[in-house]
Every structure is written in structure tokens, then in C-alpha cells.
Amino acid sequence: MKLKELGEFGLIDRFAAGVPDRASVRIGIGDDAAAFEPAEGHLSLVTSDMLIEGVHFDLALCDPVTLGRKSLAVNLSDLAAMGARPRYFLLSLAIPPSLTLEFLDGFIAGIMQRAEQFGATLVGGDTCSSKGGLVISVTAIGEQLPGLVVRRSGARPGDLLFVTGTLGDSALGLELLRKGERSGPMVGRHLDPEPRVAAGIMLAEAGVATAMIDVSDGLLADLGHILRLSRVGARLELANVPLSPGYREETSSSAGAPLSLALGGGEDYELLFTTPPLFKERVFSLLAECGVGVSLIGEITASGRLSIIGEDGEEYRPARTGYNHFS
């Protein structure tokens, strides 16, 4: 078998297979962040993300400040998906000789903007030279009380399915960037995503969310993670999938399904979560407090499968279900 056939999740399973169970590990491989209990009643949450030139970003299409902002934001989004409060981060950089000091200064400024905004402190890392492109590896550490952390695995039949913000803007922004656009709201959402840190913490601390994930691989792929780990099914109403006015306008003229990027594009960094029906109004009021939009897009079922209902009321089959790093 080749790596390409194994895929990203097959590879992760291969790593996970060799890991022994240890009592102090509260959450291991397979959630948005791992959790360990450094002292009784205290949980540290930790997550790493790597950004590779030529894979995750193109230096010709982004400025150093937004690249710095995004490098931290994608990690903070993983903490947000657990309901954790960001505290510390480490930054490792492999730097090609061609990179200018001006670029690095911009990058530092950007990452520090997001750090300041969300209360995360840079505590360490590594710097070295690269013979290839720029490589950015960030590890973010957060905290939350053990009873409040929200996992991917807690969704139950009957729970409502919500998502924050709007979907597809980032993937559309990437398409527009590749066509030569350099700014605008869609491009902005791709280059400078806003992690839903306050919303994630609020949902966790209010005790309303049963399962949560950040939408980084695409709505259908990330919903799939919740369903698989919670061993449940879901009914997803396409008519309720939140689309921004800009997204609607750009995609209205395209011949293909306008929903394709919203369902499978990825890099939205919105929060997808489930709650028991009695918390429905509470969810709307909590997210209004954070100034973040939220949409009720479906329901968890006991069916064990995902049923997608189109705007015509018929079942819908998506063309694209998410991003595989090795395909």
C-alpha cells in the first residue's frame, strides 16, 4: 500500500495504534486538541498545526502579517473547538535563505496581534534554516475545567446541529486568489480567518454543547468526524446551511452546485456543534452575546448515517466531501 492510498486518517491511525493507554492522558489522538491533567481538577489542552509553503500558503499570494495571524489562528480554532481558553504557544520556523528580515518582522507582528487578542503567550519554539520553503509549526496550549471540555464524541440522537458564521467563503476566497483577486471579503476569510475562541469558551462554560469541532476539512468531513466518534447519524438541511451574501453572489452565476464549496471546501474555522433541544434559545442568545452568527442546520439521529436534505426536500448527494492531504 502507498501513503496516497492510506490517506491522512489512515496514517494517523497507524500512529495511534502504537500508543499505550495512560491514565493522565484524558484525551489522546483523534480530537481537535489533546488533553492531559497536570494536577487533579485542571486540564491542559494542546494542539499542533503545521503550515507549509506551497501546500498551505503561497508567499506570492499573502502578506507576512496575515500569514503570522493565520498561523496562530488555526491552532486557536482547535482549542476553541474544545471550549478551551488559550494560554501559551510555541513557534518553530524553518526559514529559507531568501526570506527577508522585513518579512520575518511582519510575520512576528501578525502572530503577536493574534496572541495579544486571545491572551496566548509565546513561550518557546525553534528556528532553523530550510533548504526548501518556509515551514511554520505552532503548538498551542489552553486550559479548561475537566467537566467543561467539549469533545467530538458526545452527540446524541435528538440533539440539534448548529454551525457558527457562514461556510464556503474561505474556499471561494482561495479560488478567487488563484484567479488573481487580491482582496475582498472572500479572500480575507481565506487569508485571515477569525478563530471562534469566545464562542467556543462560552458554549463550553454554559454547558450546552454535547459535541464540537472546528470546520477545517469542510462541513461534511467534519460533521462526519462527529458522527463517527459519537456513533450517531444526522439529518442535514441544506436550505439552512449559512452562506454569506458575497458567497451567494459569486456562486449564483456558476453552473455547478453553488453549495459545493460550503459543504466540502474547508478552512472555514467555524464551530460545528450539537446541543440538546432544550438549549436551542440559549444557543442563539449566547452567540448573540459574542457577536457571532449561528444557524440551526440539522439534527442528530439514531440512524447511523448522514442524510442530506436538499432545498427541494429530496435527498442530496455531494460531489466533494472534504480535503485529503495525501490524495
The residues in 68-97 that bind its own copies, with binding defined as CB under 8 A, are: 87-88, 90-95, 97
Span 117-146, contacts to its own copies by CB under 8 A: 121-133, 135, 137, 139, 141, 143
- Residue 165 to residues 106, 134, 268, 294, 296, Cα–Cα distance (Å): 28, 31, 9, 6, 11
**What single DSSP character describes residue 19?**
P
Q: Which residues lie closer than 8 Å to 52 by C-beta, 6 or more apart? A: 133, 135, 136
**Binding range to its own copies, per CB under 8 A, among 20-28, 194-202, 204-212, 301-309:** 20-28
**Which residue number, 116 or 311, has a Cβ lying nearer to its own copies?**
116
Span 262-281, contacts to its own copies by CB under 8 A: none
Work out how close the CB of 229 gets to its own copies at its nearest, in angstroms, rounded to a whole number.
15
Q: Is the CB of residue 173 less than 8 Å from the CB of residue 117? A: no
**Which residue number, 15 or 180, has a Cβ lying nearer to its own copies?**
15
**Hey, what amino acid is at 56?**
H
39 binds its own copies (CB under 8 A): yes
> Which of residues 36, 61, 156, 188 is near its own copies by CB under 8 A?
36
Grid cell for residue 224: 462526519
Residue in the block written with cell 475537566: 146
Work out how close the CB of 216 gets to its own copies at its nearest, in angstroms, rounded to a whole number.
11
**Which residue number, 80 or 236, has a Cβ lying nearer to its own copies?**
80
- Residue 240 to residues 175, 227, 313, Cα–Cα distance (Å): 24, 19, 12
58 binds its own copies (CB under 8 A): no
Strands across the sheet with 271-275, in order?
A: 211-214, 271-275, 160-164, 294-301, 233-237, 306-309
**Binding range to its own copies, per CB under 8 A, among 104-112, 156-164, 257-265, 285-293:** 104-112
**Which residue number, 40 or 314, has a Cβ lying nearer to its own copies?**
40
Work out how close the CB of 128 gets to its own copies at its nearest, in angstroms, rounded to a whole number.
5
Question: What is the DSSP annotation of 223-290?
Answer: HHHHHHHHT-EEEEEGGGS---HHHHHHHHT-SS-TTHHHHH------EEEEE-GGGHHHHHHHHHHH
How many amino acids of this chain bind its own copies (CB under 8 A)?
76
**Which residue number, 40 or 312, has a Cβ lying nearer to its own copies?**
40
Q: HEC states along 130-154?
A: CCCCCEEEEEEEEEECCCCCCCCCC
> Which of residues 47, 144, 164, 244 is near its own copies by CB under 8 A?
47
**Binding range to its own copies, per CB under 8 A, among 53-61, 252-260, 278-286, 291-299:** 53-61
> Which of residues 59, 61, 63, 104 is near its own copies by CB under 8 A?
104
Helix (H) or strand (E) holding 199: helix 197-205
100 binds its own copies (CB under 8 A): yes
Beta bridge partners, 86, equal 142
Max CA separation in the chain (angstroms): 57
Work out how close the CB of 206 gets to its own copies at its nearest, in angstroms, rounded to a whole number.
23
Span 148-187, contacts to its own copies by CB under 8 A: none
Q: Is the CB of residue 93 less than 8 Å from the CB of residue 101? A: no
Work out how close the CB of 62 gets to its own copies at its nearest, in angstroms, rounded to a whole number.
16
Work out how close the CB of 314 gets to its own copies at its nearest, in angstroms, rounded to a whole number.
37
Work out how close the CB of 168 gets to its own copies at its nearest, in angstroms, rounded to a whole number.
22
**Hey, what amino acid is at 16?**
A
325 binds its own copies (CB under 8 A): yes
Residue in the block written with cell 476569510: 189
